Amino acid sequence: MPETEPAVETIPPLTSLTEEEAMLRDTVRQFAQQEIAPRTREMDEAQKLDPGILRQLFELGLMAIEAPLDLGGAGASFFSAVLAVEEISRVDPAVAVIVDVQNTLAVNALLRWGNAEQQRRWIPRMAEKTVCAYALSEAGSGSDAFSLTTQARADGDGFVLNGRKLWISNAMEADLFLVFATVNPEAGYRGITAFLVERGAAGFAVGHKEDKMGIRASSTCELLFDDCRVPAENVVGEVGKGYKIAIETLNEGRIGIAAQMLGLAEGAWSLAVKYSKERKQFGKAIAEFQAVQFTLAEMATQIEAARLLVYNAARMKCADVPFVKEAAIAKLFTSRVAEEVASKAVEIYGGYGFVRDYPMEKFYRDAKIGSIYEGTSNMQLATIGKLILQ
């Protein structure tokens, strides 16, 4: 084995947590139960993240978990970010979106490809109060992510952006946007470049906010660029190398989405177990019926398998060993588990599972997005298939 290749033994046991990881998990779990849970239904109906919740996410150090201490971050690991997303998703997957995108996509991209000045300028703000949205998707470039039409024209000491982005998470809350545009459409993916665009920049606007089926407290908007001038110092990485930033951040981001779906399934299952002990039919709790026990057991088995896949992919990423296939497997599997577990939980709740007074219908609605964003299930299958045949 080459000396530069880390040994597999560097990956800790999947289900064990360090003392620091366990403390973070417990802190986030308590915060989610005490602060997020009472506001979940109101935020879902209002389709808006409570500003107080967002402020607390920053105060708890959850918006720049991997960033080093000298840049204002928590100085923790990617695995810690995954744990935070999982725990918040047990209560409200919509709130987890803003933590996930901020950490696994935005902060990650700046730590890996931003220059020293960009890191000094932006990461302390992202740790303290600034949400950064990740703007790649367009109306005609979803799974075909690099068929971008948003263009960046070199002009003097900067660039001028024109085009439209769609499906951009956290756009209403963001004050900073990592935008992918092409400087040369004829060059295909080799023309794509990443830019930092600030809210309030001339020629830039946040447009229509989508009315979604699930994760409704998480804003999803279009972005409009009309001769939007961006200074050259806001180019992240190299001109024409934005595709590499997009690919590699999304590979890591998929582990975050898998953690979101894992947490959703855990939350739905734990409530279903509790309710099965309370709901009585034919003179006894439905938990005493073997059919219900078998259903809960199947759900628990799927969740445990999903947890191992997510933790394995996260540990591999932290150990700096190839993880792209494992990330795709984790996202594919957990998105399926989340849908199935949420569906079975609705059935255990019976009629109450179908009404908004109880949390199950929200978990069910929230689960569907897992098979769509940051790479559809078909795209994950394509990735897995390609890699296993290499």
User: 355 in helix, strand or coil?
Assistant: coil
Rounded Cα–Cα distance for residues 132 and 171 (Å): 8
- Find all residues with CB under 8 Å of 385, minimum gap 6, and list them: none
Which of 190, 136, 16 lies closest to 25, judged by CA?
Answer: 16
DSSP 170: T
Q: Is 299 exposed, middle or buried (0-12, 13-18, 19+ CB in 10 A)?
A: buried
- In whole angstroms, how far apart are CA 214 and each of 21, 31, 220, 237? 29, 22, 11, 34
| Cα–Cα distance measured from residue 148 to residue 144, given in angstroms and rounded to the nearest whole number | 9
Question: Is beta strand 280-281 parallel, antiparallel or unpaired with respect to 176-182?
Answer: unpaired
CA distances from 104 to 64, 78, 93, 129, 201 (A): 9, 8, 15, 17, 25
Under 8 Å between Cβ of 168 and 220: yes
**Entry field: residues in the chain:** 390
Question: What are the residue numbers of the active site?
Answer: 374
Tell me how far apart the alpha carbons of residues 191 and 186 are, in angstroms, rounded to a whole number: 8
**Rg of the chain, C-alpha, whole Å:** 21
The Cα 347–Cα 354 span in angstroms is: 8
Closest by CA to 359, choosing from 270, 282, 239, 227, is: 270
* Residue 76 vs residues 17, 63, 116, 261: alpha-carbon distances, Å: 13, 11, 20, 22
- Long-range CB contacts (within 8 A, 24+) of 21-27: 21/77, 21/79, 21/80, 21/83, 24/76, 24/80, 24/83, 24/84, 25/83, 25/84, 25/87, 27/60
